[in-house]
């Protein structure tokens, strides 16, 4: 049995404002290109030099463009990269464009305590701040800690998740897909932790599991 302490979380209820700088996430990397690592954010104007066998996948937050790049010199743009030499392939993924950008700043049982609560009274639930297009969110956190996930559009199971350091990818990402968990399509949820909260909707056609990161990313507690 997993023992979870109960905490009261102060919440601010906002989406972190649009950033100057950080515009894309490194989803995948092959080789060892200098100055950039897996799950790093890259900034407008940043240059990435790739060897002939190096590769990188960049996902842009404001345009939902996903680029698979091999070799050459990459200059990070605002909505897509500029390329000299090498090869680049672009696809458009489903994401809530622009709403994830911010100021520079084991548990098969979900790893948490399950409880039930009634839905919010009519008119009391705030509108979702963004839509996720995958049913298994990936949550960016500053550090290990507790996450409270509540469904607020109807009575449902809610979860208090105790996230340990060993569960964070690259020290700051908790991936529901990695732990085999998903949320119901079409639901409206509030996720709280680190003194902040985000209200989000799961698209009715969303799928569970390891879908594109930009379509399921929640940046919680990442302000500096």
pLDDT per residue as tens digits for the range 154-164: 887 788 889 99
Residue 165 confidence (pLDDT): 94
Provide the pairing of β-strand 112-117 with 156-163: antiparallel
**Strand pairing class (156-163; 22-30):** unpaired
Highest mean pLDDT out of 16-30, 116-130, 144-158, 173-187: 173-187
Quote the pLDDT of residue 97: 81
pLDDT attached to residue 217? 94
The answer to whether 46 and 65 have CB atoms below 8 angstroms apart is no
What number is the average pLDDT over the span 184-206? 92
More confident residue, 96 or 15: 96
pTM: 0.78
Mean pLDDT across 161-172: 91
- Which pLDDT score is estimated for 151? 93
For residue 125, what pLDDT is reported? Answer: 52
**pLDDT tops 80 at residue 120:** no
Pick 15 or 182 by higher pLDDT.
Answer: 182
Q: Three-state secondary structure along 99-165?
A: CCCCCCCCCCCCCEEEEEECCCCCCCCCCCCEEEEECCCEEECCCCEEEEEEECCCCEEEEEEEECH
Per-residue confidence at 105, pLDDT binned at 50, 70, 90?
Answer: very low
Query: In this predicted model, what pLDDT tens digit does every residue of 54-87 receive, in sequence order?
Result: 999 999 999 999 999 999 999 999 999 999 999 9
Angle at 212 between CA 45 and CA 177, to 5 degrees: 125
Residue 25 is predicted with a pLDDT of 95
Report the alpha-carbon distance of residue 123 to residue 145 in Å, rounded: 31
- pLDDT beyond 90 at 102: no
The tokens describing 56, both together, are: 């990188």
């Amino acid at each position: 049995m997993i023992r979870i302490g109960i905490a009261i979380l102060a919440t601010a209820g906002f989406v972190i404002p649009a950033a100057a700088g950080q515009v894309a996430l490194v989803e995948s990397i092959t080789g060892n290109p200098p100055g950039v690592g897996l799950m790093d954010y890259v900034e407008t104007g940043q240059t990435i030099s790739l060897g002939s066998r190096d590769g990188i996948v960049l996902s842009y937050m404001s345009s939902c463009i996903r680029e698979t790049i091999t070799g050459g010199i990459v200059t990070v743009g605002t909505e897509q990269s500029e390329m000299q030499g090498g090869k680049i392939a672009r696809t458009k993924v489903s994401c809530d464009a622009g709403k994830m950008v911010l100021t520079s700043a084991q548990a098969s049982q979900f790893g948490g305590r399950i409880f039930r609560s009634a839905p919010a009274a009519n008119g009391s639930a705030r509108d979702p701040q963004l839509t996720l297009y995958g049913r298994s969110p990936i949550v960016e956190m500053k550090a290990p800690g507790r996450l409270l996930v509540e469904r607020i559009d109807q009575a449902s199971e809610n979860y208090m998740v105790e996230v340990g350091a060993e569960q964070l990818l690259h020290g700051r990402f908790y991936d529901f897909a990695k732990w085999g968990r998903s949320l119901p399509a079409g639901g409206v949820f509030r996720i709280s932790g680190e003194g902040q909260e985000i209200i989000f909707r799961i698209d009715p056609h969303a799928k569970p599991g390891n879908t594109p990161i930009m379509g399921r990313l929640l940046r919680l507690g990442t302000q500096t």
